[in-house]
Structure 1
Amino acid sequence: MKFTRRTILRGAMAAGALSALPRLSFAATSLEMGTARIDTLSDGNLVLPLGFVTDNPDAKPILERYGITGDAVEPPCNVTLYRDGTNTVLFDVGSGNDFMPTAGKLTEAMDALGVAPEDVTHVVFTHGHPDHLWGVLDDFDEPFFHNAQHMMGKTEFDYWIDPATLDSIDDGRKTFAAGALRRLETLQDQIATFGDGEEILPGIMAQMTPGHTPGHMSYQVKNGNAQAFIIGDAIVNHYLAFAAPGMAAGSDQDPDLGAKTRTALLDQLASEKMPIVGFHLPEGGLGHVERDGDAYRYVPEV
C-alpha cells in the first residue's frame, strides 16, 4: 500500500477518531526493578489505515480473531519512564501537538506521576518516526526536556539528519522525514549518538533492531537481578506481529528486514522470558512473549 497524508486521515475518519474524546488513562502500568522502576505513560493513540498493518489477504483470519474487521486500527502509544534514583530516563517522547489529535498526551501522563519536564535527565530514542520523536520540542521550537541529554543510535540519527532522505523516502513518509530533520537539527548540539551493543547509561544496553527504520534501536535494561526489554516498534502490534512474525508489516520501511528482525527478536524474548515494553502494545505495553506452536503470543502483565 502506498501511504499519503490523505490515506492516514481517511483511516482516522473511518474510525471516527478525529471527533472522539481523548483517552484519560495516562499512567498505565509499572514494573519494579530492584532499586529502579519502569512506568509506562500513555501518549494517547494513533488512528491508521489497516494497510499500516498489512495488505496481505492471508492476515484476515488472524485479524478477525482479534476483532479487527474494519478499515482502520487505533494503536496505543506507550512512552517508557525509567527511574533508578540517579537517572530519570524517557524512552521516546510521543507525538507532541503536530501529528494527530488523538495523540500528544505525554504531559498529562507525566503530571499524573508528578514528574516535570525538568526532572528528566536523559531522553533516549528508539527511532525517528513522528509518534516517537515529534514531542521533543515545545510550541516555541525549544527543547521540551531542556535539562536532558538526548540520545539516538548513530545509524538512525544519520539517516534522518541527512537532507537526502527527503528525496529517497516514499511519498507517504516525506512528512516524517521533514519533521525529523527539523527537530534533530534543533537538537544537534544536545544529542549524543551510539552504536549497537553499547551500554549508553548504567544498566541500559542498546540493541540494533532494524527494518521498521534503518537504525531502529531497542534497549535491554538491568537493575540488580531484574531486567526488561524496551522494544519500541521492532514488534509493532500484539496480534499479527506475534501470530505471523514473518509476514511483511506495512509500517516497516524495509518490510523484509523488519520481518527478519521481528522473528529473531521474538525467539530471543521467548527464550529469555524477560518482561517487555512495547510502544504500541495494549494494556500499557508491559508484558512478555510466549511460544504458541510455530508462532508466539503476547501476554500482558495485568
Structure 2
Amino acid sequence: MITRRRFLRTAASAGLASQLPLLSHASTSFGSMMLDTVSDGHLELPASFLIGEMPSEEVTRILAQHGADGEILKSPCNLTLVRDGENTVLFDAGSGAGFMPTAGDLLDTLDAIGVAPDDVTHVIFTHAHPDHLWGVLDDFDDPVFFNASHHIGRAEWDYWTNPETVNTIGEARASFAVGAARRLEAIEDAIDFFDAGDEVLPGIMAVDSSGHTPGHMAFEVRSGSQSVMVVGDAIGNGHLAFAKPELASGSDQDAEKGAATRLALLDRLATEQMPMVGFHLPQGGFGRVERHDGNYRFVPEST
C-alpha cells in the first residue's frame, strides 16, 4: 500500500498559470523512499505523428473523449525524482532550452520542491529522445547535474552513438540523432552502463521496454515490499495507449515491438496493481492501470 499520497497542481512561475493542467505534480512515499513527479512543461505535436493522417472513427471518438481531438496534441512531460535520504535520483533530464518552447521547465519545478541541480546524485535515462536527454547540458554545453553519475542502457548508448544512426533513422528524426550523439559525447566520462535485469542502483531494476527506441528501459523502483514502475515512453499517452494499446504508434521507432511492449507492461501493471509513472500521462503521470472494456484505463492517484 502507498503510505501517503497527495496531489498538487502547480506552475513553475506565475507566468505559467494558464498551463496549470499540464504542470501537475504528484508526490508519494513508499517504504523508505519519496517519489515526486516534476514537470518539464509540455510538448505540442501534430496529431498525425501519433495516429497517422486518416484516423478511424473509433480513434477519433477515443481522442475526443479525452479532449484531444485537434490537429495539435499537447503532451505533458513528467520526470520522476526519487529520494531515499542518501541518494537523489532523477529519471531523465528533460528537454532543456533547445527542443520546444513549451518545454524546458525542469529546473524551475525542481526548485519549487527545494531541489537544486547539485543535489542530484544520479540521472538514469529511459531513452535518448530530445525531451528526455537534451536537458542534460546547459546553454554553455556544460553538464547541468554536475555532481551526478549518469546511467543509460548499453543498447541505447550504442544506437545513438553509432555514426550510421543519423543516416538510417529517417529525415523526421535525424535531428534527434545529431542532438543525442552530441550530448552523450559531452557526458561520456560520467556515464555508467546497464542492461535489462540489472539493478542500476539499490532498489532500482532496469526492465526491457524497447520498441519506442531500440534500447528503451522502464524501471521498477522498490522499497521493501512496495514498488513503483517508471515506464518512460513505453506507455506514451493517456488515451490510445490504454484504450487501443495494440495499435501501432507513429511515435515508436519500432511500432510493432512498441505495441507488444505496451501490452505486456499494461498486463503486468493491471495484474500486480503496481503504481506507475508515465512521462507523458496526465495529472503528474502517477497512477494505476485498470482493466476496462476489454482493454485498460489510467487512473491517476490524485488524493
Superposed pair shares fold, TM > 0.5:
yes
Report the AA paired with residue 254 of structure 1.
D
CA contact (8 A) 2:44 2:72 kept: yes
Q: How does 1:243-262 map to 2 (within 5 A)?
A: 243-262=243-262
Q: How does 1:87-126 map to 2 (within 5 A)?
A: 87-126=87-126
Q: Does 1:52 align with 2:49?
A: yes
CA distance in 2, matches of 1:205, 1:110: 24
Gaps of 5+ in 1: 1-19
Q: Does 1:179 align with 2:179?
A: yes
> Which residue number corresponds to residue 234 of structure 1?
234
> Which residue number corresponds to residue 8 of structure 2?
none
Q: Does 1:23 align with 2:19?
A: yes
> Which residue number corresponds to residue 204 of structure 2?
204
CA distance in 2, matches of 1:263, 1:179: 30
> Which residue number corresponds to residue 281 of structure 2?
281
Report the AA paired with residue 32 of structure 2.
T
CA distance in 2, matches of 1:280, 1:64: 18
Q: CA deviation at 1:225?
A: 2.2
Q: CA deviation at 1:288?
A: 0.3
CA contact (8 A) 2:118 2:145 kept: yes
CA contact (8 A) 1:199 1:206 kept: yes
Report the AA paired with residue 158 of structure 1.
D
Report the AA paired with residue 130 of structure 1.
P
CA contact (8 A) 2:209 2:216 kept: yes
CA distance in 2, matches of 1:65, 1:147: 44
> Which residue number corresponds to residue 135 of structure 2?
135
**1:236-277 deviation line (CA, Å, top 9, x unaligned):** 001100000000111001111100110111001100101000
Q: Does 1:193 align with 2:190?
A: no
CA contact (8 A) 1:77 1:279 kept: yes
Q: Secondary structure at the match of 1:172?
A: helix
Q: Secondary structure at the match of 2:280?
A: coil
Shift in CA distance, 26/112, structure 1 to aligned 2, threshold 3 Å: farther
CA distance in 2, matches of 1:237, 1:126: 16
CA distance in 2, matches of 1:269, 1:54: 24
Q: Secondary structure at the match of 2:70?
A: coil
Q: Does 1:34 align with 2:31?
A: yes
Report the AA paired with residue 40 of structure 1.
T
Shift in CA distance, 272/43, structure 1 to aligned 2, threshold 3 Å: same
Q: Secondary structure at the match of 2:222?
A: strand
> Which residue number corresponds to residue 83 of structure 2?
83
Identical-pair percentage: 55
Report the AA paired with residue 50 of structure 1.
A
Report the AA paired with residue 215 of structure 2.
G
Shift in CA distance, 29/43, structure 1 to aligned 2, threshold 3 Å: same
Q: Secondary structure at the match of 2:221?
A: strand
Report the AA paired with residue 30 of structure 2.
M
Report the AA paired with residue 209 of structure 1.
S
Q: CA deviation at 1:182?
A: 0.2
**1:128-167 deviation line (CA, Å, top 9, x unaligned):** 0000000000111011100100000000011001111001
Q: CA deviation at 1:51?
A: 1.4
CA distance in 2, matches of 1:211, 1:105: 27
Q: Secondary structure at the match of 1:262?
A: helix
Q: CA deviation at 1:22?
A: 7.0
Report the AA paired with residue 126 of structure 2.
T
CA distance in 2, matches of 1:177, 1:35: 38
Count of matched residue pairs: 283
Structure 1: which 4+ aligned runs deviate by more than 4 Å? 24-27
CA distance in 1, matches of 2:255, 2:227: 29
Shift in CA distance, 36/63, structure 1 to aligned 2, threshold 3 Å: same
CA contact (8 A) 1:26 1:108 kept: no
Gaps of 5+ in 2: 1-15
Report the AA paired with residue 169 of structure 1.
I
Q: CA deviation at 1:62?
A: 1.3
